[in-house]
Structures are given as structure tokens and as C-alpha cells.
Structure 1
Amino acid sequence: MQNAKLKNYLHLHVLVFIAGFTAILGQLITIDAIPLVWYRMLFALVFMALYVVFSKAKIRISFRSILKLSFAGIIIALHWITFFASIKASNVSIALAMFSTGAFFASLIEPLIYKRKVIWYEIIFGIIVIIGVYIITQSELEYLLGIVLGIISAFLSSFFAVLNGKFLEQHTATVISFYEFISGVAFISLYLLFSNSGFNTDFFMLHVYDIVYLLILASVCTAYAFIASVYVMRYINPYTVVLTYNLEPVYGIILAIIIFPEKENMSFNFYIGATIVISVVMLNGILKNSKKLKRNPA
């Protein structure tokens, strides 16, 4: 029993490591953010469809539900586009540090969606996060575009997560992801069809390394990570899962420093600001989930 528990804890950390590695792949893949996300969602959709077929999952839902999930699929597509665009415009460290501000945005979005009061410490945490971002911005002005894109990405990610929380009350995670991936691919495809730099010969002329990285991104970092995270949450309490996933930017930044030492050489003030933001995110996770455990000790 103890070995099984340890195995699931290790599995959870592997999943968080994979989440951090997603940003590394975004740096390694040479194509722009929009085609990158199109390929990622298309390949992931194929892997997800195979999972649905072999697991015989029931995915038939109402048209109204499909429309709602389609809207969320567009949001996650825009989140990934701005996230990878942030990496392209700056680097992995900037993108992940800004991604950590998502917890602040979630504290503003959740009360609107779930119609609850704003928690007092969320306001304080939000102010501290803004201070951390300000410190990063002042010390890394050359990466201002990447910072702005990273913040937009964090907002979209939080909006998506809150929406999915509502959807999970009615649908399985498999159904949600399947329709979201379809709408995401369709949305980007429509954009590319009507844009000057859309589907052309160059779009489909991928370097062999880009194809390999995209397949890893779609299979391991998207389809597998999704299925495995659902499995792990059956055996590990939400407090541990949420708190551990807050280590994603830490793992990602450490990996980036090791793999791209020259590009990820940041100022001392950046690490002060990033530490402030990430620490607040982790503290917020501790407080929120400890309260949930007190209400539901089982």
C-alpha cells in the first residue's frame, strides 16, 4: 500500500515535470506560435480520438453543451498561442513567471462564475503578485512584449480553468477535452484560411526535429498528461495535486537554465520578482486547499 502511494506521488511529480517541459519544447520548436498550437491540438485530437475508441468512452452530448465546450476550446487555443508567443518574444523564464500570475486572475474570475465573495487574502496576494510582476518588468524591459503576452496567457488559462471546473459538474474530462480540441483546431483553421500567412506550402514544410518535438508535445505533454492526471487524482487528494502543480514554473525555469544557459541568463531582480510571484501562488494553494480539507476531511 505504501509503495503504491509513493508510486502515485512520483507519477504526479513526473506530470508536473512534463508540464514544465512543455515550455522547453515551445522554445525548441522553430515554427511560429499559431501553427505550433494548430499542430499540437490536431495531433492531440488524434491521440485523444484513439483513446476514446479503445476505451469506448461515451462522448455524445447535447448541441448546447458542444457550443459551451467549443467556446472553452477557443479560449485554450488562444491561451496556448499567447503562451508560446511569449516564449518566442522573450524566453521560457519570462513566460513561466508570467504564467504564475494565473492564480491572481482566477481569484477575480471565480467569484463572477461561481457567484461567491472575494476572499480577503486574495486581494493582498493580488497586490503582492502585481509588485512581483512590476519588479520583473522594470529589470527586463527588453522582454516587455513577452511579459504582456505571458500575462494575457495567464488570464486566458485561468478563465479556461474556471470554465472547465463548471463543465466537470456535468461532463467527464474526456468529453470536455475531446470537443475543446475539435473547436480549437477549427478556430485556428478558420483564422489561417482567411489570413495572408495561412495554409501554404511553407506551413506544411516542417523540419524533422519540429515534427518530433510536436509529436512529443501532443502525445506526452497533452494527451498522456491529461489522461494520467485524471488517473492520479483518484489516489492523491486535491490539496497535494494543486500544490504540486504550482511547482510547474519552478521545474520549467530550472530546466530552461540548464538547457538554454545563455538565453535564460536573467537579472537578479527577475529572480526576486519570480520568487515573489511563485511563492504567493504556492501559499494561495496551501490556504485554499487546507480550508477545503477542513470542510471535507474524508
Structure 2
Amino acid sequence: MKAPQSGLSKALVELHVAILLAGITGPLGRLITLPAEELVWYRLGLSMPLFVVLSLWYQKLAPAADRLVPRFTQRQWIMLATNGALIGFHWICFFSSVKYANVSVALVCFATSSLFTALLDPVVNRNGLRWRQVGLSLLALAGIVVIFQFNTQYRLGIMFGLLAAVLSALFTLLNEKPAQQIPARTLSMYELLFAWLILSLASPWYLRHHSIHWPAPMDWMYLLILSWLCTVFAFTLSLSALKHISPFTINLSYNLEPVYGILIAFALFHENRMLDMSFYVGFACIFLSVLMQTLYTLYKHRMGLFVTVNQRIET
């Protein structure tokens, strides 16, 4: 049965609010004065209590839908811990890219994550290598080379940004099977919990090489926005939108996140004045590769729907 138009419209608004909130994580990373490692630790620590409260509330509303402490297999526990480590270190690399370069460079690098996903998929899932994906990846790589070559002051930030994209791609691929077995809210809560625990266990090593920083008053405000709005609330909105919009459309729409983030960075920090023509040439190559991948994915999705409809008619 087709969803009511009002429900669909509301879901679309929720989805794009969630993407917009995801887009301001980069600007918030620049506003927060903490180092990337501490920023991520606080973000996770502040997000977890609210996730637990929401999970308890949803469990009360629908006891059969979600268990706060499910009976995971040993393999699932290992996968949750692995994915938690990946998301934690992905965030550290992303915010390091923001700190060592700027928001625009970090988000352009992050935009390559879908292409790294396409390249790593044959390795992780034993799928065959597709030459179309190789060609699009080479186009994106050309864009990175242009930015890297002519923006030498941002090289360390670019390296962190690309590492963040690789970790994001690995997380996406490794999370595919758990996402089919475990409710999304429960899955995210435990992965974020493991991310916080792993960073906490690594803190003695970190403190041996760095001094600890206490957040300034404004840092606390930005951290709460980052943790509660950009993490928990954005995730909740995405889940709500999923009731009326397919996962395919949601994943496709999240390609707008870097665009939103860069526009916000231009408005807040005037980063467009700091970037030369090579940045825009490189960004155009990366954006074109992502756009072509998106259009191809959309085409394949529509063809799949067409075949499915024809099969139903024939039967």
C-alpha cells in the first residue's frame, strides 16, 4: 500500500534535516577548540546516555521490537567491536582533516568514501572488480591529486581526510550484514559504545604523549549540538524517514552532505577566499565521479524495479 502523501512529505523533510545536521559536523569540528581525539571522545560520551534513554523509551512503546541487551552471538560481538573501532577512528581522522586543513578540504576528501566503497567491495565481499568503478575512481583520484599538488599547506589534512574516507568505506561494507540482523537503533548504540570504550582504553597511551584539554564554555555548547543534534537526533530522523522512504533513496540523498557542509563553511568561515582554482578543479572531478556513480546506481535501481514489476505481471 502506498504511503500517504503527507507522510511521505514529512519523511522527506526529516531526511533533509538529518542530512543538513550531518553537514554541520565539519563546521562544528572547526569551532570546537579541542584536539580531534578528545573531541570524538566527548562526542561519543555525550551521545551514549541519550541513545540509552531513547532505546529504553522505544522498548517501552514496543517491547517486542527492540531489546536493550540482545542475545548477540560471539561473531556479532566481534563485528560490533570492529565496526565501533572503525567509526571512532574514522571520526578522529575526519576531524583531524578539519583541524589540519579546513572544512571544505575535509568534506571533499570525505566525498570519495562511496568510491572507496566500490573499490573495496571486491576485496571485502569477494565480488568481481568492475571497470566502470575503476574509471570513476581514477577520475576522483585525479581530483585529489590536483588538490594535493597545488595546495601543499593542506597535505596533512588531505591525507587524514582520505584515511577517513577509507575507514568510512570499510565501516559501510562490514556493517552490511549486521544491519540485516540487528535493529538499526540497537546496532548504532552498541557500535558507538564500543567506539567510546576503545578510545577510553587507548587514553593512557594518548595521555603519555599529549596533555589533556578541558572544554571551554563554548566548546560544551558545540559538543552538545554535535552529540545530541548531529548524532542522536539526526539518526532518529533518518530512522523515522525510513518508514516512508527506501534505504536506497536515503543513501543516495546523503551524497548531498558534503555539498551542504561546504556551503555552510563558505558562509561561516569564508573558506572560499582561502581556496584557489585548483581546489575547484579537483572538487569538480570528485563531484563528477560521485554524480556519475549516483546516476548509474539510480539507473540500475530503476531497471531492477522494472524487471520486478514485469515478473509480477507475468506471474
Q: TM-score, normalised by structure 1?
A: 0.93
Sort the Cα spacing of 1:111 and 1:273 in 2 relative to 1 into closer, same or farther, 3 A.
same
Name 2:50's counterpart in structure 1. 47
Name 1:65's counterpart in structure 2. 76
For residues 63-142 of structure 1, the aligned pairs below 5 Å read 63-142=74-153
For residues 1-298 of structure 1, the aligned pairs below 5 Å read 1-56=4-59, 57-58=66-67, 59-60=69-70, 61-197=72-208, 202-203=212-213, 205-261=214-270, 265-297=274-306
Sort the Cα spacing of 1:2 and 1:34 in 2 relative to 1 into closer, same or farther, 3 A.
same
Q: Residue deviations 1:52-82, cap 9 Å, x none?
A: 1111131312333112101110010000000
Q: How many residues align?
A: 296
Q: Look up the equivalent residue of 1:97 and give its one-letter code.
A: V
Cα distance in structure 2, aligned partners of 1:37 and 1:196: 15
Q: Answer whether contact 2:20 2:257 (CA < 8 A) is retained.
A: yes
Q: Look up the equivalent residue of 1:273 and give its one-letter code.
A: G
Identical positions, percent: 32
Q: Look up the equivalent residue of 1:51 and give its one-letter code.
A: L
Moved over 4 A (4+): 197-200
Q: Residue deviations 1:163-198, cap 9 Å, x none?
A: 111211211112211211111111111111233358
Cα shift at 1:99? 0.5
Cα distance in structure 1, aligned partners of 2:192 and 2:147: 33
Cα shift at 1:231? 1.8
Q: TM-score, normalised by structure 2?
A: 0.89
Cα shift at 1:264? 5.9
Cα distance in structure 2, aligned partners of 1:174 and 1:92: 29
Q: Which has the higher mean CA deviation after the structures are superposed, 234-243 or 85-94?
A: 234-243
Cα distance in structure 1, aligned partners of 2:153 and 2:203: 30
Cα shift at 1:290? 2.8
Q: Look up the equivalent residue of 1:163 and give its one-letter code.
A: L
Q: Look up the equivalent residue of 1:207 and give its one-letter code.
A: A
Cα distance in structure 2, aligned partners of 1:197 and 1:226: 35
Cα distance in structure 2, aligned partners of 1:291 and 1:230: 25
Cα shift at 1:262? 5.2
List alignment gaps of at least 5 residues for structure 2: 60-65, 310-315
Aligned CA-pair RMSD? 1.9
Q: Residue deviations 1:35-60, cap 9 Å, x none?
A: 10001111111111111111113131
List alignment gaps of at least 5 residues for structure 1: none
